[in-house]
């Protein structure tokens, strides 16, 4: 799994940072990806990545502020021109449907694929054989969600030496055993999946939060996450200003990661007042609170290692 930051600035774009969008690419063989927020010019950032719009199958919007969704209508329209673009699921707060339908009505845009719009509430909002996605409300100036993406447990490894010794022919039976199905050999011998497949591996957990003040749901969504993405709009020491605007400081993001026992924290959504040197210093200042913290930047790609 890979996480690509397509925009890491807050409020408005700068010369070095676009507004918010994050892409989560899923493991093979599907090779699809999901988007979390679609700030203005997200589709331009995608052009510089390996991600193609016909492989996009879900979009999750955290809240209805412009820097998180003004790029959505254009991206949806452009996807029409990609061969093989199939049904697309769109998830977000109340108002998302009227926003999209209003833009399309007045612009005359038409999609050649099915768009399924889901205005969500807290809880499990999507699940398939790959992932389960849980949403919870955060504390911001408008209704805002955070998302916890939980990879489904992965089947254990096949014991190839035992399979060969048992005379299991290479082919479809291996796949059935891997999926937990027992098989019967031509000689009538039954091979139990339990006997030739190792323990399943716990799936990875990625938490992507929208704009928020420190809150209990941020901790719950980030609990034991392999990777937590948390906003850090303001510098440490500006907690009062952050609270006024419904945001967090670098220190508050680090404190949330520590409380959640997250393995890794990436902070993003930086005010344009901060330059790269400023952000590096702000990161260094809070490493005593949470050591595994790093700053996102546009086009940054993170590999998310499998849980052990």
Instruction: Decide if pLDDT at 29 tops 70.
Output: no
Buried b (16+ CB within 10 A) or exposed e, 171-201: eebbeebeeeeebeeeeeeebebeebbeeee
Confidence at residue 224, expressed as pLDDT on a 0 to 100 scale: 97
Instruction: Decide if pLDDT at 126 tops 90.
Output: yes
The answer to whether 5 and 299 have CB atoms below 8 angstroms apart is yes
Residues 6+ apart with CB under 8 A from 107: 73
CATH 3.60.15.10 domain extents, the chain: 2-154+201-303
In the β-sheet with 33-36, what is the strand arrangement from edge to edge?
115-119, 88-92, 56-60, 33-36, 21-25, 2-7, 301-303
The answer to whether 131 and 99 have CB atoms below 8 angstroms apart is no
Token readout for 11 is 């409020």
Can you name the CATH fold of 2-154+201-303?
A: Metallo-beta-lactamase; Chain A (3.60.15)
Nearest to 231 by CA among 257, 246, 211: 211
Measured CA to CA in angstroms, residue 13 lies from 23, 116, 234, 242, 298 at distances of 18, 29, 16, 19, 11
* Binding site members for Zn(2+): 63, 65, 67-68, 140, 211, 269
What is the full DSSP assignment across 219-285?
Answer: HHHHTT-SEEEEE--B-TT-HHHHHHHT--BHHHHHHHHHHHT-S-EEEE-B-TT--HHHHHHHHHH
Instruction: Decide if pLDDT at 104 tops 70.
Output: yes
Nearest to 289 by CA among 260, 242, 252, 234: 252
Q: By percentage, how much of the chain surpasses pLDDT 90? A: 78
The answer to whether 300 and 5 have CB atoms below 8 angstroms apart is yes
Helix/strand/coil for 69? helix
Token readout for 100 is 């999209």
Mean pLDDT of 119-137: 96
Active site residue ranges: 67
E-assigned strands of the chain? Answer: 2-7, 21-25, 33-36, 56-60, 88-92, 115-119, 123-127, 131-137, 145-151, 183-184, 190-191, 205-209, 227-231, 265-268, 293-295, 301-303
Mean pLDDT of 2-19: 96
Backbone angles phi, psi at 3, to 5 degrees: -115, 125
Mean pLDDT of 139-158: 93
The answer to whether 99 and 61 have CB atoms below 8 angstroms apart is no
- Give per-residue pLDDT as tens, 162-198: 888 888 888 888 888 888 889 899 888 999 998 888 8
Task: Determine the Cα–Cα distance for residues 207 and 221; give it in Å rounded to an integer.
Answer: 6
- Give per-residue pLDDT as tens, 40-65: 999 999 999 999 999 999 999 999 99
Instruction: Decide if pLDDT at 16 tops 70.
Output: yes
């Amino acid at each position: 799994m890979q996480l690509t930051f397509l925009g890491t600035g807050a409020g408005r774009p700068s010369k070095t940072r676009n507004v918010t969008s994050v892409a989560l690419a899923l493991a093979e063989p599907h090779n699809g990806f999901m988007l979390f927020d679609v700030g203005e010019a997200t589709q331009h950032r995608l052009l510089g990545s390996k991600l193609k719009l016909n492989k996009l199958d879900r979009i999750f919007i955290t809240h209805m502020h412009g820097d998180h969704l003004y790029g959505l209508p254009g991206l949806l329209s452009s996807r029409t021109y990609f061969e093989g673009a199939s049904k697309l699921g769109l998830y977000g707060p109340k108002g998302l449907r009227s926003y999209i339908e209003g833009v399309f009505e007045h612009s005359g845009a038409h999609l050649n694929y099915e768009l399924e719009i889901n205005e969500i509430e807290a809880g499990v909002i999507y699940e398939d054989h790959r992932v389960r996605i849980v949403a919870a409300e955060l504390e911001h100036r408008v209704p805002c969600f955070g998302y916890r993406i939980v990879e489904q447990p992965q089947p254990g490894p096949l014991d190839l030496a035992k399979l060969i010794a048992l005379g299991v022919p290479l082919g479809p039976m291996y796949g059935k055993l891997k999926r937990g199905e027992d098989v019967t050999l031509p000689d009538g011998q039954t091979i139990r999946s339990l006997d030739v497949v190792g323990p399943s591996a716990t799936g990875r957990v990625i938490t992507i939060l929208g704009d928020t003040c420190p809150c209990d749901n941020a901790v719950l969504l980030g609990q034991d996450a392999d990777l937590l993405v948390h906003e850090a709009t303001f510098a440490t020491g500006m907690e009062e200003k952050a609270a006024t605007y419904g945001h967090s400081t670098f220190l508050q993001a680090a404190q949330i990661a520590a409380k959640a026992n997250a393995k890794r924290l990436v902070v993003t959504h930086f005010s344009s007042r901060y330059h790269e040197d400023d952000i590096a210093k702000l990161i260094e200042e809070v490493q005593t609170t949470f050591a595994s913290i790093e700053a996102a930047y546009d086009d940054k790609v993170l590999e998310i290692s499998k849980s052990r």
